[in-house]
Chain A
Amino acid sequence: MKTSNLSELDTEIIKESQRWVRENKGLKIGSKGYNSPRVSSEIADCSMPMTFDHFSYCSLGCLYCFAYYFKSNNPAIKDRSLGSVNIDRMINSIRGRPHNQLERSFYNNFYKQKFLLHWGGLADPFCFFERANLVGYPLIQALGEENYPTLFSFKGDAVFMKQYRRLFTKYSSQRNFAFQVSIITGDEDMARKVEIGVPNVSKRLEAIKMLSEMGYWTILRLRPYIIGISEDCIDELLDRAYQAGINGVSMEFFALDVRATIGMKTRYDWLGKQTGAKDMMKYFSRLSPKERGGYLRLNRDVKEPHVKRVYKFCAERKLVFACSDPDFKELNTSGSCCGMPDSYPANRGLENWTRSQLTYHLKEARKKYHTTGELCLFKFREVFADETYLDDKLLANDHISVIEKCCAERMNLTQRLILQMQWNNLKSYANPRNYFHGKMMPIGTDNEGNLVFRYQPHEYEERWKREGINLKR
């Protein structure tokens, strides 16, 4: 669809986003009180649960932005003044000089072991804010000096600024940095409409090329994959990313939150028009498993052809295939669904993500099934093993599930207890049976009274195998 065909609705949505981007360009930070890092609520299947953003929000205007959906639904986020973390304090914490108890917790559980830092969870490390403020620069420099393993997820073009080029060149020999560049379509025209203010596809591929040529681990972040949009020009996009030097592809499908504000609904309508869905909400509602609750994710049969294409592409070129979606999670060829390597001799720090999570265990179960025919069992104590951050009471307070808890429970909860609550409650949307929609099925309990799950092969696995697709990777 060309821009000239846009209806009044299109114009309104796009104008809103354009205004957002315009207002954000050159914006200076208002305070240094933004709290980050935090431990991700997706800890059950996340390999890098320490997630970090140095700005309180993002300057870009992507119409699918899940952070926009979450933040516009969150009454706590009323203040739109731009905040940043206190970078000096962050650097001190990493270097073993924490300022308060929470920082001490992050130091003891993560920094001290040089646990991989994921920078760019809800905002963009290299968007217009970084151009105008250069707040992140000293931190990146410190991370370089400390040889601290860090994964950047971004779309913005501040990475091309001279000082950043110099900085990343300087530390390229130690390979402690890795980069995920988000691109959701190879169609420049569509990208321009959907990702307002974001550098065009070619520019983002250029960023991959630049960083790959420096020797860094790079990943095409194909997220959110929007069915009806992303498949146009997908082969071309994958080829171009491969030529640019990627080491892997990480994909996840667009999900729709039923608790939509008016602004969100208008965006859904707009996206629906682009994808061919008459009513996006109805389309998602009809095709998403109810067991997962109100954050609607299409079922695996709808996604299968799209996953298959990307999986085959990666298998043929020996790239890491990573899938952050709950469906096809088992197909990850590394235990990190962001696409970080299982093994990286050039800098072992990039392997320093946790295996105590379900992406790793599902991947291992799939491999075992296709190698030996054995159906793996998942036991709570084995899956969520001995990571210290799972038992730290200070690190559970950002988890979304504490909202409904009284003060005494909240203060005594740990990530492990939250995980256990979800693991054992088959009515919970986050229960592994529901979240992975049948990929892990309960078969009984262990000697501690926790549920035991078993790997459940799907029909597609046999079919793909017959077609010669390697599922032992």
Chain B
Amino acid sequence: MSGIRDFVGKRNKGESRTELFQKLSKGKSKKEIRKLESEMLKPEHLPPYTGQGAGRHCDIDKLTLKIVFPDEESFKLWKQHFRVSTYIEQSTVNIDKLIAFLCALDKGTIKYDKKKKKIECENIKSVRTRYGDH
């Protein structure tokens, strides 16, 4: 890849700067060598990458969701059932109970009535999910 002077092709009259440095530093004292290094061997900057970037940095982004509660009351209710940590930012660590609830909803053990805005349970039987019986 071109664009980085440090790589193949970076030469000065057939000599790389490290070869030149080695020549010039021969027989010099430690102090003089450190000074020469500081003058001659400053690091190259990497060229900017202009190609296609990664879609995201990390797959945990795919598993992360922001929830904004409509009011304080519902947030308080959430906090009653789920531990909210305030370390760095507010987040909920253990959501097993929520997953169990979703599994039960998914299995049809419980149903949500949109009009009544209520959960209805019919023939309550335990349903085994990976999170336990519901």
Contacts and interface: CB of A to CB of B under 8 A. Distances in A.
Given A301-B18, A458-B6, A412 B34 contact: no
A126 to B, nearest CB: 33
A437 B90 CA distance: 37
B127 interface: no
Contacts of B18: 301, 304-305, 460
Interface string B30-66: 1111110110011111100101111111111001100
A428 B73 CA distance: 40
Contacts of B1: 441, 443, 454, 456
B8 to A, nearest CB: 5
Contacts of A406: 85, 87-91
A302 B8 contact: no
A90 interface: no
Nearest to B94: A411
A163 to B, nearest CB: 44
Contact of B7 (A289, A410, A423, A438): A438
A412 B46 contact: no
A417 B7 contact: no
A413 interface: yes
A301 B88 contact: no
Interface in A409-467: 409-413, 417-418, 420-421, 423-426, 433-434, 437-438, 441-445, 449-451, 454, 456-460, 462-463
Given A286-B42, A404-B88, A442 B21 contact: no
B27 interface: no
B93 A407 contact: yes
A438 B54 contact: no
Contact of B60 (A289, A417, A438, A443): A417
Most buried by A among B49, B54, B91: B54
15 contacts: A228-B34, A283-B34, A287-B41, A289-B44, A301-B21, A406-B88, A408-B93, A409-B91, A426-B53, A441-B1, A444-B52, A445-B54, A449-B55, A456-B4, A463-B19
Interface of A: 228, 275-278, 283, 286-291, 299-302, 304-305, 404-413, 417-418, 420-421, 423-426, 433-434, 437-438, 441-445, 449-451, 454, 456-460, 462-463
